[in-house]
Structure 1
Amino acid sequence: MPPPNDPYPSHDSPFTSVSSFPITLKFTDVSYRIKVERHGAKGGRLRRMFWSGSGPTSSSSDLENQTTPHDERTILSGITGMVHPGEILAVLGPSGSGKSTLLNALAGRLQLQGFTGTVLANNRKLSKPVLKRTGFVSQDDVLYPHLTVRETLIFCALLRLPGSLPKRDKIATAESVIAELGLEKCENTIIGNAFVRGVSGGERKRVSIAHEMLINPSLLILDEPTSGLDSTAAFRLVSTLRSLAQKGKTVLTSVHQPSSRVYQMFSSVLVLSEGRSLYFGKGNEAMSYFESVGFSPSFPMNPADFLLDLANGVCQHDGVVSEKDRPSVKQKLVSSYNSILAPKVKAACMEGTPTLASSHNVSSSSCPKTNANNKQRSFIFSSTWLNQFYVLLHRGLKERRHDTFNALRVFQVVAAALLAGAMWWHSDYTDVQDRLGLLFFISIFWGVFPSFNAAFAFPQERAVFVKERASGMYTLSSYFVARVVGDLPMELILPTLFITILYWMAGLKPEILAFVFTLLVVLGYVVVSQGLGLFLGAVIMDAKQASTVATVTMLAFVLTGGFYVHRVPPCLAWIKYISTTFYCYRLLIDVQYGEGRGISSLLGCERRSTAGCKFVRDDIQGQIHPATSVAVLVLMFLGYRLVAYLALRRIKA
């Protein structure tokens, strides 16, 4: 057991109840500045293209503030406030006011460079034990679209809860959270997205909250959870948050434009405008404060709407104020806050942390229970590498099977095989030119197809990856290995189907061993091409740019692959030796014709020179040894994935 004066348990005490340690969060003079690139700086565009995954964690809307003469942008300027267990603190402000950046700062998710101020949890600096008890719900619902609500939360529980906990207890924990957040009716419905129909927006947001509730956090931070929801759905969601707060949790949320009944549920309100405070205090006292400093609505209205008008520099509800008056309105509001409220707020933050029972009217349900289910949710979550790998592999197979085996992709592969089989129907073994054309077509198709698809993999999963890594759900290595291993069986089924159809339709070498070798060459080539796509996607981290670079790269590989051009200009000849297409083409030729002696004799190339003999000499005879081609492809298989892994390491969670 930890000593009595230690507000947090030790890492060595995994059975300590989280709800035994409510968190009072205080933040004083929080400021954040970022350095911006000078307009027209050399290499800026190219650097953003290849390093788009490692930028600051601030939201894009927070970067609209005014640039200082020193090429810095002030996102936050001296923000002070506090929130206690049993309370909901709402951060209000227009887009670009710094709400998201403030929440990231309070959750310990901002880069230290440019950050100043003090953030305390129970009068102590943020530490790993505190962050492990902090649930963070981002503005966007970053979830896998093809998993059901139940599957989503069970996989999360298997990853976030400790490995010492039995699997059945982890599943029971997920089920209890589903019941607590009212998700029973949709638990077997897929999450969905803009292209796949799934649960409603309010249900999707509750699933995001359930993700964090699995660890029974003491502090819950939410970035605009009501965004995109109608008034009724937003009210239900905030009602859920209020019930969680009444159980002893500290809730901090940003809200863009709440309805009047949602506003009434906030314990306290912080109003921001261009990164500066306009008000901090109880929500029901905000209107009287602004009236005392000379700002009041011309008729009764939603307090939240009035506060947002003021944050935008509009002092009347009908908006009758000129643009030139807006800066003066904002300046007066900031000045009034600094002279009237700021000293009181800072003085309150300097006082000792009040006890939970004495000051904040928390319901008795906040007391920790001793039943088994509460113990399950109070462990310090951790998981072994093998458990992470197994769960991520299982989840990846369930999620990606819909993309890999969707009807359009299967149709594309089968149609290509049937069309090529009809074009090369029972081709003649001695018609070398046509046969080599078929082999090169196979090399092109299974070079471009998997590399292009793989280029989208990491950019599309980046948001989920960053979110889950920030929550400490798994290591990078377990994620990467599970991704690579999980892709292999799914990515190899379609090329197997393709070769099985095309090989016998085209009448290639009618031997089982030759068919097996051809299939193995193509499957090996597919995983190498896939590695190329993963490498480009991980380095560039932009789906469109990565697919464009993959297309250009494969074009260079195809042109130097040895079929179209035999005498490549010396300045471009080196591309042939890094071309995956070149080595696959050489191996396919070797399976069908070997060293070319048999076909050379059949064509009588020793006595005469024909077009077929020219292809025998140029394409078949005197080329690199098959073992060399295999060795190079193996090195590419490992090398591309190694570089992809190293590229992912630069992404900051």
Structure 2
Amino acid sequence: MSLSSTNDTDFREEEEKLLTESGKQNHPKCLEFRDIEATSIKKKGVRQEILKGVSGKAKAGELTFIMGSSGAGKTTLLNILTGRNLKKIERDGDILVNGTLITASEIKKISAYVQQDDIFIDKLTVKETLRFSAKLRSPKKLNDDEIDEIVEKLMKEMNLKKCENTLVGSISQKSLSRGERKRLAFACELLTDPQILFCDEPTSGLDSFMSHRVIKALKQLCSQGKTIICTIHQPSTSVFKMADSLILLAQGNIAYQGRAQDIGEFFEKCGYPVPRFVNSADHFMRVLSHGTEEDENVYKNRIDGIIAEYENSKEESTSHSSKREKNNDKVQMKFPRPWILQFLYIFHRSLVVLSRDKFEMIVKFTQIIAMAAVLGSIYFNISIQKSDLLSLKGFAFTTVQLMHLLFMFQTLPLFWKEYPVVIREYQSNMYSPSAYFLAKSMSDMIQYLIFPFIFCSILIWSTNLPRSFWPFFHYYSISLILSLLSTSLSRVVASIVGEISSAVNLLFTITIPFMVFGGFFISYDRIPFYLEPVAAISWHKYAYEGFLIGFMKDVGQIPGCNETSTVFRESCSTGIEFIRQLSFKEDNLWLDYTVLLTVVAILNIAGISAFVWRIRRS
């Protein structure tokens, strides 16, 4: 018999049977909340009361809807029950599971939370998404066969088998339907076999048919003894009838809490019977909502009357415990998998995503070829002779700048693109932010090994500069380090600022002063003493110096230095003399490498710290 046809008596009998079973690790959970209060702390210390001592219960094996008009507090209540998204919210009250007080960190161990927005990595298939979640979220480490078995079972239960090899897609790249994405979100959360499932607006954005299928899937989970609590906005009649219990919120108070099938009788007692041929849920929402032109006192009197009627009609609640759940309950994240496995799984996923983003790779490859071709045509056939020394300086310094510009601004949107996914997966207790940051950085590093090599090869063969091993090695190695440095800087700024457009502006603000003191626009012996500290930490200077030392250190007499030239008027003789004229030192090459690599390391440490801080406070 289908669950939708099971009557109220059957539910009670099933619940009692499930709750009395002993010896099972995952026995059903009855969730109760008592006197939940919540106050939002806004700017300048302004306080707004959201919930005013609300109490309710969600029974095992039942589907409970939390409904209310906009601003009634249903999302805040759900967040308090799940222990999430509670920044600047003061709260108090008791949360109990099977009659025992429980903290936010403890409830996360036995529950799962399906958010309203279905956020996934768009380049993975449905099956790959589930496999990744299974590897990181399962209570015990599973082998490949066990993972496949669990994933297959979930895809069948959630009716995802037909699209298992379909890419999840994104808003701009349609692939899965909204209903399939929603069922995939449920499947990801069910991998841990939670006994309590929280859902925020599970039917949002779905048509009535898909909404019915999604709620029907939840009803099937209820038949397994799971406790499911959903916030929902104006469900259709068929969806509303599938609810077992209902919690109505109005102005931060409970307007009704009880069996869903009894609410019509309750509203009729309040003087607001459901008209014929009208959706019951729509009628209840209209009664509880503030009309556009409705007088505030009229609305307040109506809501107060409904709340008073509910208070008079409800049964006496059980005695409250004197122990309160602390507002500052810190959630201690203990991930199922060790850090190294988190890193390896994320690294593998990042490589898969990188390999499938063919359009982005083609764009980058084309950009590298185009910029190298343009620069190669400008400095075509320059060589180490007196008439080309000024061009050589320009060639080296332009390379420094392009290694920044080509990779620094590319990294921002690509790195930040997965930020919402990381938040969701971190809150689902899948992995540490530090594991993600390092895995993502190292997987991206592969392309920054290849692209600088292509860039440097084109430029070297476009000129008559030395093509022997060591000059090219230094030219490529410093270019590679610069690409890593620029991408590391992008990740740091993005993690600190948290918004791309502001991050772009900040990157310009940081980069330009260091570029000015790179040694091309002003000689180092001309820099004012009060600006010397800025010049000393300019990585542009060390890269520029390293390029020129690599090309010029082993050059003896420079051709044309004994001749009169209108292009390069300063005296010159050897490669070392040329290096010294720029206030550089020929013995600083390995110092340049050390400084550049140190800057990369410092930026990555700062990036990890900023990223972890931002994810944990989100």
For the aligned pair, the TM-score class normalised by the smaller chain equals 0.7 to 0.9
Are the aligned partners of 1:269 and 1:279 in contact in 2 as well (CA < 8 Å)? yes
Tell me the distance in 2 between the aligned counterparts of 1:220 and 1:301: 31
Partner of 2:337: 383
Which of the numbers 277, 283, 293 marks the counterpart of 1:322? 293
Tell me the distance in 2 between the aligned counterparts of 1:262 and 1:470: 29
Offset of residue 568 of structure 1:
4.5
- Structure 2 residue 515 is the aligned partner of structure 1 residue 540: no
Offset of residue 217 of structure 1:
0.8
Tell me the distance in 2 between the aligned counterparts of 1:331 and 1:411: 67
Map Cα deviations across residues 529-564 of structure 1 (whole Å, 9 max, x no partner): 111111111111212211221122222222222213
Q: 1:95 and 1:441, CA in 2 relative to 1: closer, same or farther beyond 3 A?
A: farther
Tell me the distance in 2 between the aligned counterparts of 1:134 and 1:278: 26
Equivalent pairs, count: 571
Offset of residue 232 of structure 1:
0.9
Offset of residue 23 of structure 1:
0.7
- Structure 2 residue 58 is the aligned partner of structure 1 residue 83: yes
- Structure 2 residue 606 is the aligned partner of structure 1 residue 643: yes
Offset of residue 33 of structure 1:
1.2
Are the aligned partners of 1:469 and 1:475 in contact in 2 as well (CA < 8 Å)? yes
Offset of residue 451 of structure 1:
2.3
Map Cα deviations across residues 46-105 of structure 1 (whole Å, 9 max, x no partner): xxxxxxxxxxxxxxxxxxxxxxxx611223222221111111111112333322221111
- Structure 2 residue 260 is the aligned partner of structure 1 residue 306: no
Offset of residue 287 of structure 1:
2.4
Partner of 2:123: 146
Q: Which one has more relative contact order, counting CA pairs under 8 Å at least 6 apart? A: 1
1:21-40 equivalences under 5 Å are 21-38=27-44
TM-score (norm 1): 0.81
Root mean square deviation of aligned Cα: 2.8
Partner of 1:336: 306
Where 2:277 maps in the other structure, the secondary structure is coil
Which of the numbers 589, 593, 606 marks the counterpart of 1:630? 593
Identify which range, 148-157 or 514-523, moves more after superposition: 514-523
TM-score (norm 2): 0.86
Are the aligned partners of 2:250 and 2:303 in contact in 1 as well (CA < 8 Å)? no
Q: Which amino acid aligns with 1:394?
A: H
Offset of residue 177 of structure 1:
0.8
Where 1:73 maps in the other structure, the secondary structure is strand
Q: 1:588 and 1:238, CA in 2 relative to 1: closer, same or farther beyond 3 A?
A: same
Offset of residue 441 of structure 1:
1.5
Offset of residue 238 of structure 1:
0.6
- Structure 2 residue 404 is the aligned partner of structure 1 residue 447: yes
Are the aligned partners of 2:552 and 2:579 in contact in 1 as well (CA < 8 Å)? no
Q: Which amino acid aligns with 2:584?
A: Q
Which of the numbers 306, 309, 316 marks the counterpart of 1:347? 316
- Structure 2 residue 350 is the aligned partner of structure 1 residue 396: yes
Q: Which amino acid aligns with 1:464?
A: V
Q: 1:486 and 1:349, CA in 2 relative to 1: closer, same or farther beyond 3 A?
A: farther
- Structure 2 residue 63 is the aligned partner of structure 1 residue 107: no
Partner of 1:416: 371
Q: 1:469 and 1:82, CA in 2 relative to 1: closer, same or farther beyond 3 A?
A: same
Offset of residue 162 of structure 1:
4.1
Q: Which runs of 5+ in 1 are unaligned?
A: 1-6, 10-15, 39-69, 315-320, 353-379
Q: 1:643 and 1:304, CA in 2 relative to 1: closer, same or farther beyond 3 A?
A: same
Are the aligned partners of 1:456 and 1:546 in contact in 2 as well (CA < 8 Å)? no
Tell me the distance in 1 between the aligned counterparts of 2:459 and 2:20: 65
Q: 1:153 and 1:563, CA in 2 relative to 1: closer, same or farther beyond 3 A?
A: same
Where 1:612 maps in the other structure, the secondary structure is coil
Q: Which amino acid aligns with 1:385?
A: W
Q: 1:179 and 1:413, CA in 2 relative to 1: closer, same or farther beyond 3 A?
A: same
Offset of residue 131 of structure 1:
2.0
Tell me the distance in 2 between the aligned counterparts of 1:627 and 1:502: 23
Offset of residue 575 of structure 1:
2.9
Partner of 1:603: 560
Where 2:43 maps in the other structure, the secondary structure is coil
Q: Which runs of 5+ in 2 are unaligned?
A: 1-18, 322-333
Partner of 1:525: 482
Q: 1:289 and 1:213, CA in 2 relative to 1: closer, same or farther beyond 3 A?
A: same
Which of the numbers 217, 230, 255 marks the counterpart of 1:240? 217
1:420-439 equivalences under 5 Å are 420-430=375-385, 431-439=388-396
Identify which range, 506-515 or 455-464, moves more after superposition: 455-464
- Structure 2 residue 570 is the aligned partner of structure 1 residue 614: yes
Tell me the distance in 2 between the aligned counterparts of 1:94 and 1:574: 59
Tell me the distance in 2 between the aligned counterparts of 1:520 and 1:311: 67
- Structure 2 residue 230 is the aligned partner of structure 1 residue 253: yes
Map Cα deviations across residues 121-154 of structure 1 (whole Å, 9 max, x no partner): 1111225554222010111112111111111110
Offset of residue 578 of structure 1:
2.6
Where 2:192 maps in the other structure, the secondary structure is coil
Where 2:76 maps in the other structure, the secondary structure is helix
Q: Which amino acid aligns with 2:381?
A: H
Map Cα deviations across residues 599-629 of structure 1 (whole Å, 9 max, x no partner): 6x42326x86754353967865431412221
Partner of 1:98: 73
Are the aligned partners of 1:80 and 1:346 in contact in 2 as well (CA < 8 Å)? no
Where 2:235 maps in the other structure, the secondary structure is coil
Q: Which amino acid aligns with 2:533?
A: W
Identify which range, 528-537 or 613-622, moves more after superposition: 613-622
Partner of 1:652: 617
Q: Which amino acid aligns with 2:214?
A: L
Map Cα deviations across residues 498-526 of structure 1 (whole Å, 9 max, x no partner): 22222212333221332122111111111
Q: Which amino acid aligns with 1:395?
A: R
Q: Which amino acid aligns with 1:328?
A: V
Q: Which amino acid aligns with 1:489?
A: I
Which of the numbers 534, 537, 540 marks the counterpart of 1:575? 534
Map Cα deviations across residues 158-189 of structure 1 (whole Å, 9 max, x no partner): 11114543232123212211111010111111
Tell me the distance in 1 between the aligned counterparts of 2:244 and 2:127: 32
Where 2:434 maps in the other structure, the secondary structure is helix
Tell me the distance in 2 between the aligned counterparts of 1:591 and 1:574: 25
Q: Which amino acid aligns with 1:579?
A: S
Are the aligned partners of 2:274 and 2:280 in contact in 1 as well (CA < 8 Å)? no
Q: 1:610 and 1:260, CA in 2 relative to 1: closer, same or farther beyond 3 A?
A: same
Q: Which amino acid aligns with 1:173?
A: I
